[in-house]
Amino acid sequence: MIELTTTSPLHTFPGGIHPPERKAPANSTPTKRLPLADRLYVSLRQHSGLIAELCVSVGDRVTKGQPLSKPGVDNGLPVHAPTSGVITAITEHPLNHPSALTGPTVCIEVDHLDEWGAREPLGDLSTLSRREILNYLQTMGIAGLGGAGFPTARKIAGAQGIDVLIINGVECEPYIAADDRLMREQSQGILRGSKILQELTAAKQVVIAIEDNKPEAIAAMTAALSTDNSDFILRVIPTRYPSGGEKQLIQILTGKQVPANQLPADIGVLVHNVGTAFAIAKAVDAGEPLLERVVTVTGETVAEPCTAWVPIGTPVGHVLQSCGFKAEPQQRVIIGGPMMGYTIPSLDVPVTKTTNCILAPSATELRPADEEMACIRCGACEQVCPASLLPQQLQWLAKAKDYDGLKQHHLADCIECGACAYVCPSEIPLVYYYRQAKAQIREQLIEQQKSEIARQRFEARQARLEREKEERLEKHRKAAEARKAAQAARAESNEEDPVQAALARVKARKAAQEESANAPAVDDKKDQVAAAVARAKARKAQREAEQSSEAESAADDKKAQVAAAVARAKARKAEREAAAQQAEKNGEDS
């Protein structure tokens, strides 16, 4: 159980650095609203993890706040139309990611009307269950605005037994002033969001932490707290990089370390960014999804460094142009700060929910990295590591691709803050090696899981084929057995077996035939033959007798005989004539 008061001692974390802050001049002007871009590119993938299901199609007109995707079966984090317009394409577009890979993106042709769709504020929270509120936050697309963009509803849902809720307004990285300006201008909204977070997490205490290099923000938050009857604690912590890191901030405020491979919630602490708190307040009270965020636009190549409310999906190039960006030769544009940010390969990439800073430094301001030199084993990196790791040792292991060694040296606890690379006199890009090694280890883990699944599926299939074969054999065996059993049953009940009966009938018939063909039948046959001969003789005798009687009466038929003779003569004559004609014909032919 952690209990904190406004006077409880602040602790410290090992290492840390003090790089030039350079937060001015971006933090000295009120947060602007830049002109809307003509085209917005809203990536469906705004953070690592599952993407939501697309729910619009090309040609649709969308109003401001209309969902472009919905959580779907995977409960991904949806994105919304940041302004009204027409969807001209849903296509692969460069992502705001160091890899320069493309990803599915909704391209909106902005109509500059900025027309809101239906907004449904959540209303009285006390009538709703925690689950309903969390579902609402998920459909509003609320993600952590401090760093990785983890879906806020999931972070809250996974946290049980929270003692302390920390609202993180530290913003320790150089140049970045987005949270600073937000705290100065929207302190009431941040408090409102913090209260909602406190209700959702059932946290016993709420601590708002701000670094001492932001006196105006501290004053604004103090003023807001004094008019409010909440028991929130405001703690001002000394400026040191990276005190805004989740684990480092917990250590400063509570003196406790988050154990390796565990989450802050495991020691009863939950950390949310001030921007996230404000986004929650806007979603709950005004029904506005996460459509825009404060972005710091800074660097010496930008004429008017400032912070601005930028709709999600605005191309980085448009934001820079609106602030008077003049590119140098070999200009670098960094998303995030100089310590943890990454350079982007093209200005087409859109602003996402996690883009807190667009930094366009001149070559003299942030010198491009020189060639890496050999490690001189000075040990400076070890002195500044906030996670008490051995950066030099990790570097050797990463270069040797000794992933087991890296695990033994707790590479997973590296927060990639870049302090080691900042102090390295040999300009070794240490964090780059760690990121590569982490990616390789993750890839190996994924491959291992996949191969394990493949092995299980293969074995399941082999087992299935084996089973099917056995079932077939079993079926045949059973059928044979059934036949036998039926026979036996019939034999027992003296019932006639149809097969046996049929066989018996056939046998009987055969036997009968054979019997009739055998000796006793011979006499009969002779008798029959004799009888037949006798019958034939009798018939002959009868015919002869008839003929003789005819001859006796033939005298009367003489006339008929003459006529027959005449006919015969005529026939013969005709025959002769025909033969003569034939002869003539043959003569002519030859």
Partner 1 sequence: MSWLFGILALAALAIIAGLILGFAAIRFRVESDPIVEQIDSLLPQTQCGQCGYPGCRPYAEAIANGDELNKCPPGGQATIDKLADLLGREAKPLDAAHGEEDVKKVAVIREDECIGCTKCIQACPVDAIMGAARQMHTVIADECTGCDLCVEPCPVDCIDMVPVAIQPERWKWDLEQIPVQYIDGSASSPTTEQQVETQ
Q: Using CA atoms, how far apart are residues 6 and 174, in angstroms rounded to an integer?
A: 27
Does 451 help bind partner 1 (rule: CB under 8 A)? yes
Which CB atom, from 453 or from 508, has the smaller least distance to partner 1?
453
Does 455 help bind partner 1 (rule: CB under 8 A)? yes
Q: Give residue for tokens 């090992």.
A: 14
Does 129 help bind partner 1 (rule: CB under 8 A)? no
Specify the stretch interacting with partner 1 by CB under 8 A; choose among 117-125, 166-174, 215-223, 449-457.
449-457
Whether 341 and 176 have beta carbons less than 8 Å apart is answered as no
Residue 86 CA, distance from chain mean position:
27
Q: C-alpha distances in angstroms, 525 versus 513, 514, 515, 516, 521? A: 16, 16, 14, 11, 7
Which CB atom, from 446 or from 491, has the smaller least distance to partner 1?
446
Find the shortest distance in angstroms from Cβ 461 to partner 1.
Answer: 5
Q: Using CA atoms, how far apart are residues 352 and 235, in angstroms rounded to an integer?
A: 30
Find the shortest distance in angstroms from Cβ 150 to partner 1.
Answer: 13
Does 365 help bind partner 1 (rule: CB under 8 A)? no
The kind and range of the H/E element at 144 are: none
The contact mask relative to partner 1 for 300-339 (x = CB under 8 A, - = no) is ---------------x-xx-xx-----x--xxxx------
State the DSSP code for 349: P
Does 151 help bind partner 1 (rule: CB under 8 A)? no
Does 452 help bind partner 1 (rule: CB under 8 A)? yes
Instruction: Looking at residues 91 to 120 of the shown chain, list those that interact with partner 1 (rule: CB under 8 A).
Output: 91, 93-95, 97-101, 103, 107
Closest CA relative to residue 196, chosen from 232, 249, 172: 232
Q: Using CA atoms, how far apart are residues 167 and 191, in angstroms rounded to an integer?
A: 9
Does 75 help bind partner 1 (rule: CB under 8 A)? no
Does 443 help bind partner 1 (rule: CB under 8 A)? yes
Q: Using CA atoms, how far apart are residues 167 and 280, in angstroms rounded to an integer?
A: 13
Find the shortest distance in angstroms from Cβ 455 to partner 1.
Answer: 4
Which CB atom, from 203 or from 344, has the smaller least distance to partner 1?
344
Which CB atom, from 211 or from 416, has the smaller least distance to partner 1?
416
A 10 A CB-CB count for 255 gives: 15
Closest CA relative to residue 242, chosen from 171, 149, 348: 171
Find the shortest distance in angstroms from Cβ 237 to partner 1.
Answer: 32
Does 347 help bind partner 1 (rule: CB under 8 A)? yes
Does 174 help bind partner 1 (rule: CB under 8 A)? no
State the DSSP code for 91: E
For residue 183 the two structure tokens come to: 């705290």
SS3 367: coil
Which CB atom, from 245 or from 315, has the smaller least distance to partner 1?
315
Which CB atom, from 185 or from 348, has the smaller least distance to partner 1?
348
Q: How many residues bind partner 1 (CB under 8 A)?
A: 53
Q: Give residue for tokens 């087992």.
A: 463
Does 348 help bind partner 1 (rule: CB under 8 A)? yes
Burial of 203 (0-12, 13-18, 19+ CB in 10 A): buried
Does 405 help bind partner 1 (rule: CB under 8 A)? no
Biggest CA-to-CA distance, the chain: 169
Interface pick for partner 1 out of 202, 400, 412, 460 (rule CB under 8 A)? 460
Which CB atom, from 472 or from 537, has the smaller least distance to partner 1?
472
Which CB atom, from 286 or from 465, has the smaller least distance to partner 1?
465
Residue 92, beta-bridge partner list = 104
Find the shortest distance in angstroms from Cβ 331 to partner 1.
Answer: 5
Interface pick for partner 1 out of 24, 202, 376, 454 (rule CB under 8 A)? 454
How far the first Cα of the chain sits from its last, in Å, is: 141
Find the shortest distance in angstroms from Cβ 432 to partner 1.
Answer: 7
Specify the stretch interacting with partner 1 by CB under 8 A; choose among 11-19, 72-80, 143-151, 456-464.
456-464
Find the shortest distance in angstroms from Cβ 311 to partner 1.
Answer: 17
Q: Using CA atoms, how far apart are residues 396 and 55, in angstroms rounded to an integer?
A: 48
Specify the stretch interacting with partner 1 by CB under 8 A; choose among 175-183, 283-291, 437-445, 484-492.
437-445
Does 412 help bind partner 1 (rule: CB under 8 A)? no
Give 410-460 as a DSSP string.
TGGG-----HHHHH-TT---HHHHHHHHHHHHHHHHHHHHHHHHHHHHHHH
Does 432 help bind partner 1 (rule: CB under 8 A)? yes
Does 345 help bind partner 1 (rule: CB under 8 A)? yes
Whether 338 and 174 have beta carbons less than 8 Å apart is answered as yes
Specify the stretch interacting with partner 1 by CB under 8 A; choose among 69-77, 111-119, 442-450, 548-556.
442-450
State the DSSP code for 1: -
Does 353 help bind partner 1 (rule: CB under 8 A)? no
Give 149-214 as a DSSP string.
--BHHHHHHT--S-SEEEEEE---STT--HHHHHHHH-HHHHHHHHHHHHHHHT-SEEEEEEETT-
Which CB atom, from 463 or from 479, has the smaller least distance to partner 1?
463
Which CB atom, from 100 or from 538, has the smaller least distance to partner 1?
100
State the DSSP code for 92: E
Which CB atom, from 89 or from 157, has the smaller least distance to partner 1?
89
Residue 194, beta-bridge partner list = none
Which residues here bind partner 1, judged by CB under 8 A? 45, 48-49, 88-89, 91, 93-95, 97-101, 103, 107, 315, 317-318, 320-321, 327, 330-333, 343-348, 432, 435-436, 439-440, 442-443, 446-447, 450-455, 457-462
